[in-house]
Amino acid sequence: MKKLFCILALILMLSTCLTSCEVEPAPKIKEGRFNFSVTYEEWGEAKTVSGVFVCEYAGRSFTLEGGDFTRDWEGSVEGVENLHDTFYATVRVGETNDGGEILLNLGVFAAYFMGEPGFADSVIEPSLYIVHSTDDNLSSETSGTPEEIEELYGLKIIEYHYDAPVENSFGK
């Protein structure tokens, strides 16, 4: 009898929690393609990374932090060589003398481009940084300010362009 009472109490608590949680409505626009280009300089020579950032609505998920359902987005980069295997939307542009990698983070994320209201004021810009990974690639340490990377490796970002995000609406 105690087990039955506990199970019923648990079901009641879960249903109360789920009905009081706010569920984000689905977006009207569920996918998009956004052109981008980032020009950086390497020891005086300009190089450009350009491609398409592809965004897709991935459904909803429950967050333990806020106790609400949120919209999930997935993004991928097309048309770019030397994409890093581990880091999202990041291009390998060089290496350090001590075995580290110099990476160009494209600074893109799908929620911004797909018009997610909480991301409207986000700053989208590329950045350079250095990463040292463990042999098993399970952990890494990042370092390097833009000034250090320019001084030691001759790399700096010159300019960049991203297509504007969509004006999305959310609801039934």
State the pTM of this model: 0.78
- Distance set, CA 34 to CA 19, 58, 114, 140 (Å): 37, 17, 10, 30
> What percentage of the chain has pLDDT greater than the value 70?
79
Residue-wise pLDDT tens digits, 17-32: 444 445 678 899 999 9
Helix (H, G, I), strand (E, B) or coil at 30: coil
Please check the confidence at residue 2 and state whether its pLDDT lies above 80.
no
pLDDT digits (tens, 9 = 90+) for 64-105: 766 677 889 999 999 999 988 778 899 999 999 888 899 999
The structural domains of the chain, with segments of one domain joined by +, span 24-162
